[in-house]
């Protein structure tokens, strides 16, 4: 009788389903904390990655931790509030890697200004940083993919505030809600072109953008409302990123908002 082995390895199956080898991922805001971790996960899964931002030193600080001089991780300088600068990303990356498969829109900025005090400049600035950047990113890569008859995956970084407005985050909530609507609208419009458009909504992750507004009472309120009782770590966004990026694992996923928040959103008291 032949012995039946009870041990098996799922490694090959897993690698096949999440295969990202040789794909090229653009991460707008990849110089920052959360998108830097998402970029790291994509790179470690075999993608070539391009971190887009305004500060080369911040990109280098990420590269030092993982890619360490590899040709398959690069920085592209762009202020993504300007259309021409967003458009300049595609020829630069095409020269380096020849194609683009995954595009992450992850620039964002919070502001605690109460509604009655929001001036016109702040209003347009917050829309510019949290919404215009995402619109320019989607439109630029979408037009490119459609003209080439190539599919792809767009991941927009939303927030808890996109669904239910967060206190002390008026303009941010407004812009993220519009970002989520844009994501759904494009998922519907671009499905025939094999372009999947999804959002990731991180819960609370202390980073450069929100540290200043996380005083003790706010921290207690957030953690008291988070069943897991802690903040998120940037690396905890990697699983969601790989799922949405992978054309096999994520093949039927479009127009979704993947929440990564320790249970914050589903908790009412
Ligand atoms: N930190 C959180 O708890 C949290 C929660 C939910 C959603 N988010 C979202 O996650 C995303 C990343 O946030 P983060 O916490 O990592 O912040 P971060 O400040 O570390 O990262 C943002 C990056 O974008 C860059 N950037 C800003 N304006 C730019 C511009 N005009 N052109 C090019 N680059 C620009 C910044 O220099 C920075 O490197 C944002 O969209 C944010 O709204 C964060």
Q: pLDDT tens digits for 84-118?
A: 999 999 999 999 999 999 999 999 999 999 999 99
Give pLDDT, residue 8: 76
Start-to-end Cα distance in the chain: 59
- Going by C-alpha positions, the residue among 20, 26, 32 that lies closest to residue 90 is 26
| Nearest atom within ligand 1 for CA of residue 105 | 41
36 touches ligand 1 (CB under 6 Å): no
Long-range CB pairs of 146-150, under 8 A, 24+ apart, other chains included: 146/190, 146/193, 146/195, 149/193, 150/99, 150/194
Give pLDDT, residue 205: 96
Give pLDDT, residue 213: 82
Give pLDDT, residue 255: 98
- Residues paired with 62 in a beta bridge: none
202 touches ligand 1 (CB under 6 Å): yes
Digit-coded pLDDT (tens) for 232-259 = 999 999 999 999 999 999 999 999 999 9
Please tell me the distance between residue 32's alpha carbon and the centre of ligand 1 in angstroms.
Answer: 6
* Residue that has been written with the tokens 């009472």 in this structure: 217
Provide the percentage of residues in the chain whose pLDDT is more than 90: 91
Give pLDDT, residue 10: 82
CATH of 20-262, one of 3.40.1190.20, 3.40.50.720, 1.10.150.530, 3.40.50.10280: 3.40.50.720
Please tell me the distance between residue 208's alpha carbon and the centre of ligand 1 in angstroms.
Answer: 8
Cβ(265)–Cβ(236) under 8 Å? Answer: no
Please tell me the distance between residue 159's alpha carbon and the centre of ligand 1 in angstroms.
Answer: 11
Identify which has the larger pLDDT, 182 or 13: 182
pTM above 0.95, yes or no: yes
What would the mean pLDDT of 156-165 be, rounded to a whole number?
97
Integer Cα distance of 25 and 44 in angstroms? 12
Please tell me the distance between residue 6's alpha carbon and the centre of ligand 1 in angstroms.
Answer: 47
Cβ(28)–Cβ(106) under 8 Å? Answer: yes
156 touches ligand 1 (CB under 6 Å): no
- Going by C-alpha positions, the residue among 194, 184, 92, 90 that lies closest to residue 144 is 90
CA 37 to chain centre: 10
DSSP state of 101: -
What would the mean pLDDT of 146-154 be, rounded to a whole number?
98
Residue 3 has pLDDT above 80, yes or no: no
String of DSSP letters for 156-203: EE--GGGTSPPTT-HHHHHHHHHHHHHHHHHHHHHGGGTEEEEEEEE-
234 touches ligand 1 (CB under 6 Å): no
Please tell me the distance between residue 89's alpha carbon and the centre of ligand 1 in angstroms.
Answer: 18
Decide: residue 133, CB within 10 A, 0-12 exposed, 13-18 middle, 19+ buried.
buried
Residue 264 has pLDDT above 60, yes or no: yes
Please tell me the distance between residue 110's alpha carbon and the centre of ligand 1 in angstroms.
Answer: 9
Please tell me the distance between residue 102's alpha carbon and the centre of ligand 1 in angstroms.
Answer: 18
Residues 6+ apart with CB under 8 A from 71: none
Give pLDDT, residue 118: 98
Provide the percentage of residues in the chain whose pLDDT is more than 70: 98
Using CA positions, which residue lies closest to atom 24 of ligand 1? Answer: 29
The mean-pLDDT minimum among 102-106, 179-183, 207-211 falls in 207-211
Residue 1 has pLDDT above 90, yes or no: no
Residue 11 has pLDDT above 90, yes or no: no
Residue 4 has pLDDT above 90, yes or no: no
Residue 5 has pLDDT above 70, yes or no: no
33 touches ligand 1 (CB under 6 Å): yes
Each domain of the chain, given as residue ranges in start order, spans: 20-262
If one residue of 37, 52, 207 were mutated to test the ligand 1 pocket, choosing by the most ligand atoms within 8 A of its CB, it would be 207
Residue 212 has pLDDT above 60, yes or no: yes
If one residue of 27, 28, 32, 106 were mutated to test the ligand 1 pocket, choosing by the most ligand atoms within 8 A of its CB, it would be 32
* Alpha carbon separation from 239 to 42, 65, 216, 227, 236 (Å, rounded): 10, 19, 30, 20, 7
The b/e string for 40-52 (b: 16+ C-beta within 10 A; e otherwise) is bbbbebebbbbbb
Angle between helices 33-44 and 238-245 in degrees, nearest 10: 60
Please tell me the distance between residue 266's alpha carbon and the centre of ligand 1 in angstroms.
Answer: 24
If one residue of 28, 31, 105, 108 were mutated to test the ligand 1 pocket, choosing by the most ligand atoms within 8 A of its CB, it would be 108
């Amino acid at each position: 009788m032949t012995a039946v082995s009870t041990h098996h390895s799922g490694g090959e199956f897993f690698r096949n389903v999440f295969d990202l080898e040789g794909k090229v991922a653009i991460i707008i805001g990849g110089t920052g904390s959360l998108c830097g971790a998402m970029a790291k996960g994509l790179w470690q899964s075999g993608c070539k990655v391009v971190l887009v931002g305004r500060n080369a030193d911040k990109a280098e600080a990420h590269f030092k931790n993982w890619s360490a001089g590899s040709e398959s991780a690069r920085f592209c300088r762009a202020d993504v509030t300007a259309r021409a600068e967003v458009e300049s990303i595609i020829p630069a990356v095409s020269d380096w890697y020849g194609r683009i498969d995954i595009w992450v829109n992850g620039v964002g900025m919070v502001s605690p200004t109460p509604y009655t005090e929001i001036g016109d400049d702040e209003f347009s600035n917050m829309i510019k940083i949290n919404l215009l950047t995402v619109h320019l990113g989607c439109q630029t890569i979408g037009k490119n993919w459609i003209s080439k008859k190539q599919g792809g995956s767009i991941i927009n970084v939303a927030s808890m505030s996109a669904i239910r407005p967060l206190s002390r985050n008026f303009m941010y909530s407004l812009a993220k809600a519009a970002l989520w609507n844009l994501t759904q609208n494009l998922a519907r419009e671009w499905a025939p072109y094999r372009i999947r458009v999804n959002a990731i909504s991180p819960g609370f992750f202390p980073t450069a953008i929100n540290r200043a507004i996380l005083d003790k009472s706010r921290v207690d309120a957030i953690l008291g409302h988070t069943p897991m009782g802690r903040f998120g770590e940037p690396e905890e966004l990697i699983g969601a990123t790989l799922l949405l990026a992978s054309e096999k694992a994520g093949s039927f996923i479009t127009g979704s908002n993947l929440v990564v928040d320790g249970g914050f959103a589903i908790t009412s008291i």
